[in-house]
Homo-oligomer: A and B are copies of this chain.
Amino acid sequence: MIGDSVLPFNLKDYLASKQTLVERRLGDLLARETHAPANLIEAMRYSLLAPGKRLRPALVFMAEQAAGGTDEQALPAACAVEIIHTYSLIHDDLPAMDDDDLRRGMPTCHKKFGEALAILAGDALLTLAFQVLAEHYPARTTAACCLALAQGSGAAGMVGGQVDDLAWERPDQPRTLDALEHIHQHKTGTLFRACLKLGVHAAQGERPDGADRTLLDRLDTYGRCFGLVFQITDDLIDVEGNADDSGKRVGKDAARGKLTYPGLLGSDESRARAKALTQEAIDAVTPLGVAGEPLVHLMQFVLARDR
């Protein structure tokens, strides 16, 4: 594991420190919502503060660092992306969608609080993400972050990817690598890419000439590759892992007839594709020097992950 190495940059410690920052702030953000019904806040908190890797916030912090910002600048944006991710998990788990009873070993939101409250907790979280941006940033940064977050998570982004993903359960869909990657680019990729944009805007949003376009482009290439590698390793864990480790039923995606990388390419070729994409991501951020190092380590970590 990269996080256990003796490199000067320790990814494990880095992720743990950012996770603490984000989880503390997420708790504070919910605690401030004193005009909201207590049971709604409880359902939001249950899912938002459930154990998670907080990968998306980590990408925000890493992009902010690459853009010369501070963690305090990145924190609201890091919370906003985690809030969006959480709402999407709550709605995905619903009986009408993936119909999951457990997530990481805990009852899903609708199993714990009922379907109606789970739907509304998801809606409230989605809304809260934009509220957090607007409450914490100056106007130019708010506007840039709201735009990037909406584009990454809406009809042409994450939600669109979910819709395409649902269609995979129908037998008439094209079973090609292009089609598979189109779905994943949307379902998970666009939000990862939004995380990186938000990190840059959090750091540079008030610059009179706007954020650094070259940096945004480099990070977007990184984000595109990162999302695909994340999905390939997710698929490999689904096929090869065990339920204790991954916290979800192994082989579930494949059993549903969803197209997966190993199902389409085989495990070896899937791994080769993941390695090539990892290299492309690293090449994109290498010119950033030390400021891009955390991104390099995170990419290698995602390639090597087994849970």
Contact = CB atoms under 8 A, between A and B. Distances in A.
Contacts of A88: 123
B150 A130 contact: yes
Given A37-B167, A131-B147, 8 more contacts: A35-B156, A36-B154, A36-B155, A37-B163, A91-B120, A94-B119, A127-B153, A130-B146
A123 B35 contact: no
Interface in A93-150: 94, 96-97, 114-117, 119-120, 122-124, 126-128, 130-131, 133-135, 137-140, 142-144, 146-147, 149-150
B33 A166 contact: no
Interface residues of A, number: 55
A39 interface: yes
Contact of A123 (B34, B39, B44, B159): B159
Contacts of A164: 37
A128 B36 CA distance: 23
A156 B135 CA distance: 14
B128 A127 contact: no
Contact of A139 (B37, B91, B123, B140): B140
B155 A91 contact: no
A146 B134 contact: yes
Copies of this chain in its oligomeric complex: 2
A160 interface: yes
Q: Is the interface of A mostly helix, strand, loop or mixed?
A: helix
B44 A124 contact: no
Given A155-B128, A156-B33, A91 B123 contact: yes
Contact of A130 (B37, B130, B160, B167): B130
A215 interface: no
A34 B156 CA distance: 8
A149 B130 CA distance: 9
Contact of A155 (B127, B130, B149): B127
11 contacts: A96-B115, A97-B116, A117-B163, A120-B163, A123-B123, A130-B130, A131-B147, A131-B151, A134-B143, A134-B150, A135-B147
